[in-house]
Amino acid sequence: MSQAVHRYEERAMGSLFEVRIAGMDELTARGAAQAAFEVLHRLDRELSRFDPTSAVSRIARLSAGDSLRLGPAAFECLELALEVFQETGGALDVTIAPLLDFWRQVGPDAKVEDVTLAGLYERVGSELLRLDRASRSVQVFADHVQIDLGALGKGYAVDQMIERLMAWDAPAALVHGGTSSMYALGAPPGWDGWPIELRHPEEGRPPLEVLILTNQGCSGSGALLAEPGSPSDCHVVDPRTGRPARQRPASWVLAPTAGRSDALSTAFLLLTVEEVETYCQVRPEISAVLVDNEPGGLAVHRIGKYFARKD
Amino acid sequence: MEEKKTPVTRRDFLSGMVAAGATLATARLAAAQAVQEATAPAVISSATAAVNSAEELRVAMIGPGSQGRTLLTNTLNIPNVRFVALCDIWDYSLDYASRICQKSDQPVNTYHDYREMLEKEKDLDAVLIATPDFLHAPMTLDCLHAGIHVYCEKEMSNTLEGCRQMVVAARETGKLLQIGHQRRSNPRYFLGEKLLHKDKFLGRVTHAYGQWNRLAMEMYGWPPGREIPADVLKAQGYDTMERFRNWRWYRQFGGGLMADLGSHQVDIFNWYFQCAPSRVTVSGGMDVLQGDREFPDNVMAIYEYDTAWGKVRAYYQVVSTSSFNGYYELFLGTEGTLMISEDPTKGFLFKEVSAPKREWEDEAKKVDSMGKEAIALQVGASRKQGEQKAEAMKEEEDANKPPHQLHLENFFAAVRDPGKVKLNCTAEAAFETAVSVLMVDTAFKNGHSYAFKKEEFKA
């Protein structure tokens, strides 16, 4: 069996997606990657805010009270988003777009009255969405609720690509979207898992941590990990307050799927260390690395079973 | 990836701790609840009524491969349609598609042999067929004769005889046969037709241009160990697994690029010109791609039409080795040009300076087209304020549904109420298009030109 790691790249969802496959001959690996990218491009159309025919664009055109039947991808993404919204007290909210737009316009230091924000909240808040399993539909409770699945959509796509690679019997594969959402399947020959470096938030420093991952999703969020060109100032508006928040420089999450690790790494930018610890106790399949700016310098918190095992 | 989750007893175990912004959060929660209370009862009762009045259609699919999965996921967006069975000779496709159905709570029975499926699945309302072209005719015929309505992918068949049999079977059985030229159900294309014929925006239409350019694709492989057993392949007509996966390149199974891609757009030429072509002149060849493929990797075809406007010449190219500008169609006339595409980002009207001014022009959204101002092609945009508003909004929303969903919705609506809803792409209409594209292969063998006979377009 070949020892080589085959690498393939394609662009979608505003990111460069990469598929690495080990333990397979090149011709088969190429076929498997092709099947994975086919799924990626289909999901890009189904979940994109920029395609007027996508499920999220169609939801944005609904009026209060309307329902829309959803295909499996959009339904599963919203199901996950609403679950994490509830679990984290609203720290992840996929309906936050109008607030982001607002703060981008006025600037993060503008004095804004609560009443102004309350007006924006008429269209913001995941309570405005209700999923109905029986009819596989979403109902909205306000006009024109905008949904931006953001990283969660990328993570979901990574999971679906991995599912395809498994259907092709790929023994070991790493799939990532723009390096911020990934899933590690199996282990390359001679390794216990796929080595993943967590980049130090300060330029030029050695990696913060090297994780060895197998059959696990991993995602990172934070200003320093943001894609180049993203509006960094207002990148984080706390959905719980409607105001720009001082986020921690970085958070990484390990989870059974890349979709969930993506949803949580966004939420964990805003939760306190204690809240994340509680979360990881209740959900032992989740581990996290949080980086905080503290008076003495950067503090790194390694939380959850993955790190307990190592120590 | 499926999640295996630890059961959480207190789902909202963090919300108590995360109290920041409590006033706002409470306020919006209250507001959302008010809306829920106000709207929920009405919505639920109307939804229940809908389920009762519109009985669920029971549907099966033969051939849930790549194109089949597109039809499958689009169908899953449509209420009151349920997949009950899938059939494919390849387990990989069967597993893949049944997983997708399962995710939408539609468990399906799976079959390798469609005849067995038709025998065992007694209450099918409709079958969707997305197998390779050479199987369309025998499968469609068997379904129609079993009394089941059919949605069949284009090309109808890779042979004219197959196409003809399908038209005849639909006529004789009285069952519905919709062919998958999905642009025929797209409100943007309805608007294009109206602009040409009713509004006469282009004046005298003189030319058309259409293209589908795409990047070279490698031959398809398959996961090792998941080959179809040799006897099953043979029984279906394939020598090898390689042929099964790459059937589109071989005459025995498919119709080449003109049938795979060109057919969608030549179909629009025929629809918009309200007639079939009188002649086609072709060039192209297997110039770049390697291997023993039988069909050209690029085709250029010039069609001539004798329309009510007079002579119209339509150039069409399909290039499978370069992707620039993808797919779209242009219609040129003495007063303007229409660009239209299934890709909703490509659509505009360009007006010649000498053309008369339309009353809605000033208000219409403008776009830049190669340095010149053009009018964006928008469904519902020319409608006056307040005029049939609900209908206009429905039309706009329809224009923004996934393209295959619209064509499937038209089919299922016709299945429910054939007296009221007409199919947007009948076997007869698709037959004209099939003749127009399949004869390109004959033109290649015939000194690169072919003069169509009028009677050829009648099945």
Taking only the tens place, the pLDDT of each residue in A231-270 is 444 467 899 999 988 778 889 999 999 999 999 999 999 9
Q: Within 13 A of B337's CA, how many CA atoms are on the CB side?
A: 17
- Rounded to whole angstroms, the Cα distance separating B81 from B151 reads 14
Interchain proximity A282–B11, CB inside 8 Å = no
What sign results for the dihedral spanned by CA atoms B54, B56, B58, B63? positive
Q: What is the mean pLDDT of residues B43-57?
A: 50
Q: How far is CA B220 from CA B118, B223, B238, B241, in A?
A: 30, 10, 15, 10
What pLDDT, in 10s, does the model give residues A26-59? 999 999 999 999 999 999 999 998 888 999 999 9
| C-beta of residue A249 within 8 angstroms of C-beta of residue A223 | yes
Enumerate the residues of chain B whose CB falls inside 8 A of the CB of residue A88. 14, 18
Which of B8, B24, B220 should be substituted to probe chain A, the one whose Cβ sees the most A Cβ atoms within 10 Å?
B24
Q: Name the one residue in this structure whose structure tokens are 């209740």.
A: A282
Q: Which of A251-265, B14-28, B423-437 has the lowest mean pLDDT?
A: B14-28
Enumerate the residues of chain B whose CB falls inside 8 A of the CB of residue A256. 1, 3-5
Q: Is the pLDDT of residue A23 over 60?
A: yes
Interchain proximity A75–B4, CB inside 8 Å = no
Q: Is the pLDDT of residue B9 over 50?
A: no
Q: B82: nearest CA in chain A?
A: A135
Say yes or no: B11 contacts chain A, CB-CB below 8 A: yes
Interchain proximity A163–B25, CB inside 8 Å = no
Tokens linked to B255? 């119709």
What pLDDT, in 10s, does the model give residues B349-397? 999 999 998 888 888 899 988 888 999 998 876 555 555 667 777 788 8
Say yes or no: A133 contacts chain B, CB-CB below 8 A: yes
pLDDT computed for residue B36 by the predictor:
53
Interchain proximity B103–A125, CB inside 8 Å = no
Which of B17, B28, B182 should be substituted to probe chain A, the one whose Cβ sees the most A Cβ atoms within 10 Å?
B28
CA-nearest of B57, B55, B119 to B87 is B119
- Rounded to whole angstroms, the Cα distance separating A180 from B386 reads 48
Of A53, A70, A127, the CB nearest to B401: A53
Say yes or no: A137 contacts chain B, CB-CB below 8 A: yes
Q: Is the pLDDT of residue B30 over 80?
A: no
Interchain proximity B15–A86, CB inside 8 Å = yes
Enumerate the residues of chain A whose CB falls inside 8 A of the CB of residue B77. 55, 69-71
Of B18, B23, B73, the CB nearest to A89: B18
Q: Is the pLDDT of residue B451 over 90?
A: yes
Exposure letters B296-335 (e unless 16+ CB within 10 A, then b): bbbbebbbbbebebeebbbebbbbbeeeeeebbbbbbbeb
pLDDT computed for residue B391 by the predictor:
74
Of B32, B43, B223, the CB nearest to A169: B223
The domain limits of chain B are 57-183, 186-398+427-457
Of A71, A87, A238, the CB nearest to B12: A87
- The ipTM, to two decimals, is 0.89
- Looking at chain A from residue 217 to 236, which residues have their Cβ under 8 Å from any Cβ of chain B? 217
Say yes or no: A259 contacts chain B, CB-CB below 8 A: yes
State phi, psi for B434 to the nearest 5 degrees: -60, -45
* Amino acid at site A150: G
Q: What is the mean pLDDT of residues B241-266?
A: 97
Say yes or no: B28 contacts chain A, CB-CB below 8 A: yes
What band does B217 get if pLDDT is binned at 50, 70 and 90? confident
Report strand pairing: B126-129 vs B57-62. parallel
Q: In chain B, what is the straight-line distance between the N-terminal and C-terminal CA atoms, in Å?
A: 49
What pLDDT, in 10s, does the model give residues A63-72? 999 999 999 9
| C-beta of residue B13 within 8 angstroms of C-beta of residue A278 | yes
Q: Is the pLDDT of residue B239 over 90?
A: yes
Q: Is domain B186-398+427-457 classified as CATH 3.30.360.10?
A: yes
Q: How far is CA A124 from CA A117, B192, B231, in A?
A: 10, 37, 59
pTM of the model: 0.90
| C-beta of residue B142 within 8 angstroms of C-beta of residue B179 | no
Q: What is the mean pLDDT of residues B330-356?
A: 95
Share of chain B above pLDDT 70, in %: 86
Of B12, B38, B104, the CB nearest to A86: B12
Q: A165: nearest CA in chain B?
A: B223
Say yes or no: A90 contacts chain B, CB-CB below 8 A: yes
Q: Is the pLDDT of residue A116 over 60?
A: yes
Q: Is the pLDDT of residue B411 over 80?
A: yes
Long-range contacts of B39-46 (CB under 8 A, 24+ apart): B39/A64, B39/A65, B39/A141, B40/A139, B42/A65, B43/A65, B43/A67, B43/A139
- Rounded to whole angstroms, the Cα distance separating A224 from A226 reads 5
Share of chain B above pLDDT 90, in %: 78
Say yes or no: A62 contacts chain B, CB-CB below 8 A: no
State phi, psi for B288 to the nearest 5 degrees: -120, -50
Of A42, A70, A122, the CB nearest to B31: A122
Compute the nearest-CA separation of A206 from chain B (Å): 32
Cite the DSSP H helix spans in B54-152. 66-75, 91-103, 114-120, 136-145
Q: Is the pLDDT of residue B26 over 60?
A: no
Enumerate the residues of chain B whose CB falls inside 8 A of the CB of residue A304. none
**B234 C-beta neighbours (distance < 10 Å), count:** 12
3-state secondary structure of B61: strand
Q: B40: nearest CA in chain A?
A: A65
What band does B51 get if pLDDT is binned at 50, 70 and 90? very low
CATH of A5-24+167-310, one of 3.40.50.300, 3.10.520.10, 3.20.20.10, 3.40.1280.10: 3.10.520.10
Q: How far is CA B147 from CA B126, B141, B175, B187, B375, in A?
A: 9, 10, 7, 31, 47
Q: Name the one residue in this structure whose structure tokens are 């796509």.
A: A157
Enumerate the residues of chain B whose CB falls inside 8 A of the CB of residue A61. 397, 400
pLDDT computed for residue A302 by the predictor:
97
Say yes or no: B37 contacts chain A, CB-CB below 8 A: no
Q: A136: nearest CA in chain B?
A: B104
DSSP A290-304: EEEEETTEEEEEEES
Q: Is the pLDDT of residue A195 over 90?
A: yes
Enumerate the residues of chain A whose CB falls inside 8 A of the CB of residue B66. 38
pLDDT computed for residue A309 by the predictor:
62
- Looking at chain B from residue 399 to 438, which residues have their Cβ under 8 Å from any Cβ of chain A? 400-403
What pLDDT, in 10s, does the model give residues B293-318? 999 999 999 999 999 999 999 999 99
What sign results for the dihedral spanned by CA atoms B227, B229, B233, B236? negative
- Rounded to whole angstroms, the Cα distance separating A146 from B203 reads 41
- Looking at chain A from residue 176 to 195, which residues have their Cβ under 8 Å from any Cβ of chain B? 183
Interchain proximity B12–A89, CB inside 8 Å = yes
What pLDDT, in 10s, does the model give residues A139-186? 999 999 999 998 899 999 999 999 999 999 999 999 999 988 999 999
| C-beta of residue B115 within 8 angstroms of C-beta of residue B145 | no
Q: For chain B, give the mean pLDDT.
A: 88
Contacts of B412 (CB under 8 A, 6+ apart): B57, B78, B81, B126
- Rounded to whole angstroms, the Cα distance separating B32 from B40 reads 11
CATH T-level topology, domain B57-183: Rossmann fold (3.40.50)
Enumerate the residues of chain A whose CB falls inside 8 A of the CB of residue B401. 53, 58
Q: Within 13 A of B436's CA, how many CA atoms are on the CB side?
A: 28
- Rounded to whole angstroms, the Cα distance separating B128 from B122 reads 16
Query: Residues A69, A73, A77, CA angle at the centre, nearest 5°?
Result: 95
- Rounded to whole angstroms, the Cα distance separating B119 from B369 reads 56
- Please give the radius of gyration of chain B, using alpha carbons only, rounded to the nearest integer: 25
| Region label for B401, one of left (φ > 0), alpha (ψ between -120 and 50) or beta (otherwise) | beta
Of A83, A90, A168, the CB nearest to B25: A90
pLDDT computed for residue B439 by the predictor:
97
What pLDDT, in 10s, does the model give residues B177-201? 999 999 999 999 999 999 999 999 9
Interchain proximity A125–B92, CB inside 8 Å = no
Q: Which of A219-223, B38-42, B72-76, B163-167 has the lowest mean pLDDT?
A: B38-42
* Helices B403-416 + B66-75 axis angle, to 10: 60
Q: Is the pLDDT of residue B10 over 70?
A: no
What band does B27 get if pLDDT is binned at 50, 70 and 90? very low
Q: Is the pLDDT of residue B37 over 70?
A: no
